[in-house]
Amino acid sequence: MAEVPETMDAQVIREHGDPDVFEHAELDVPEVDANEVLVEVAATSVNPVDTKIRSGFASDLCPDFPAVLHGDLAGEVVQVGDGVEDFEVGDEVYGCPGGLAGTTGALAEYAAADAATLAHKPDSLSMREAAALPLVTITAWDGLVTRADVSPGESVLVHGGTGGVGHVGVQLASLEGGVVHATASTEEKRDLARDLGADHAFDYHRDVDDYVAEYTDGEGFDVVFDTVGAGADNIGTDFAAAGVKGRVVTTVSRGEADLNPVHSKGLSFDTVFMLLPLIHDDHAGRLRHGEILARVATLVDEGDVTPHLDDTDYGFEEAAEAHRRLEAGEHVGKVTVRVKD
């Protein structure tokens, strides 16, 4: 293995703004602290939080300028810090260790990562495919397996069933034995949702009372998993779709919402914010992330979970184009960036 250089190429931002704020920079390779590994990054993927940090909408999460963004990565371990026992030089790994204030991001040739946040990459996936999974997979697992605890035979509604979180959520809910219903905006996306394991897929524009009547005989869904991220605008629909004592889990709960249905139906209501262990330096939470990814790697290699990538293929110098693609809403599947060819 080649010696690790002192400097590296990176895509950075020096101010918030549109995707054109990305620029090339030569930075020092991050130093590896105890319980960390240095990863030579092969690929990363774009998540909505990355575009929000870049634009300044989530400026409080931004690393110091010049900032290296992106949390998701896949690559090869090239250095191992003191205290690391689960990884060694040469291991191929994937995870979501950074891209936030106080961490190093993945839009660079190298990233220092808390070993707890990583898992060995699924053998059956390319680096690009593996890089598409970490954030969305941890979110979907936390929402459907941990929070909602889907049981066989339960009716599950996944809003945004072909988005980043949603397309993994559909697969996990199906694996848990749920009868999966997915919403999507086009027939192409609804076909994809069915291919991923949804028993039923329909237009998200449909009236909630209409699809509750058709698919649950008016009883409501046992589990509603909202991955759309529309906040309070969608939460009312989630509550209306849920049945008595149903479980509603969302990825965004900002704004104001009428909680009367939570009382009248006896609903449980949870929010999944996957980044919390990274923001608050929660070691137990970071370990949980690594454990989830290790379990999912096995599911992937057994053919039970498959990442769906957008049909674009962006190189390292095309980070701005990748962000534009995600923000335009034209993608179907995860948008990825190759860091190493």
Tell me, what DSSP letter sits at residue 5? P
pTM: 0.96
With cut-offs at 50, 70 and 90, classify the pLDDT of residue 146. Answer: very high
Closest to 8 in 3D by CA, of 74, 101, 127, 107: 107
- The reported pLDDT for the residue numbered 255 is 79
pLDDT at 256: 83
Instruction: Check residue 177 and give its pLDDT.
Output: 98
Contact of 69 with 44, CB cutoff 8 Å: no
Asked if the domains at 7-133+276-338 and 136-271 fall in one CATH topology, the answer is: no
Q: Which residues contact 261 (CB under 8 A, 6 or more apart)?
A: 236, 239, 240, 242, 267
Count of CB atoms situated within 10 Å of the CB of 143:
29
pLDDT band at 56 (very low <50, low <70, confident <90, very high): very high
pLDDT tens-digit profile of 107-121? 999 999 999 999 999
pLDDT above 70: residue 84: yes
Q: What is the pLDDT of residues 209-223, one digit of tens each?
A: 999 999 999 999 999
254: confidence class by pLDDT, cuts 50, 70, 90: confident
pLDDT (0 to 100) of residue 231: 62
The Cα 131–Cα 309 span in angstroms is 10
Confidence (pLDDT) at 230: 66
Q: What single DSSP character describes residue 145? A: I
| 18-30 average pLDDT score | 98
Cα–Cα–Cα angle for 141, 165, 154, rounded to 5 degrees: 55
Q: Which CATH number fits domain 136-271: 3.30.110.30, 3.40.50.970, 3.30.450.20, 3.40.50.720?
A: 3.40.50.720
C-beta of residue 229 within 8 angstroms of C-beta of residue 48: yes
Question: What pLDDT does 232 receive?
Answer: 58
Structure tokens at 171: 């697969």
Question: Are 105 and 111 within 8 A, CB to CB?
Answer: yes
Average pLDDT (188-211) is: 96
SS3 31: coil
Quick check: 134 and 72 in contact, CB under 8 A? yes
Q: Where residue 233 falls among pLDDT bands split at 50, 70, 90?
A: confident
Find the range with the poorest average confidence among 9-23, 30-44, 327-341. 327-341
pLDDT for the residue numbered 243:
97
Nearest in space to 118 (alpha carbons), one of 100, 97, 139, 141: 97
Q: Tell me what the pLDDT averaged over the chain comes to.
A: 95
The three-class DSSP label of residue 200 is strand
- Asked if residue 152 has a cis previous peptide bond (ω within 30° of 0), the answer is no
- Vertex 213, ends 210 and 215: CA angle to 5°? 105
Query: What is residue 341's predicted lDDT score, i.e. its pLDDT?
Result: 82
* pLDDT at 1 exceeding the cut of 60: no
- The candidate with the shortest Cα–Cα distance to 61, out of 21, 101, 99, 98, is 101
The model's pLDDT over 255-300, given as tens digits with 9 standing for 90+, comes to 788 899 999 999 999 999 999 999 998 999 999 999 999 999 999 9
pLDDT of the residue at 2: 65
How is the chain split into domains, by residue range?
A: 7-133+276-338, 136-271
Select the CATH number that applies to the domain covering 7-133+276-338 from these four: 3.90.180.10, 3.20.20.140, 3.40.1010.10, 3.10.620.30. Answer: 3.90.180.10
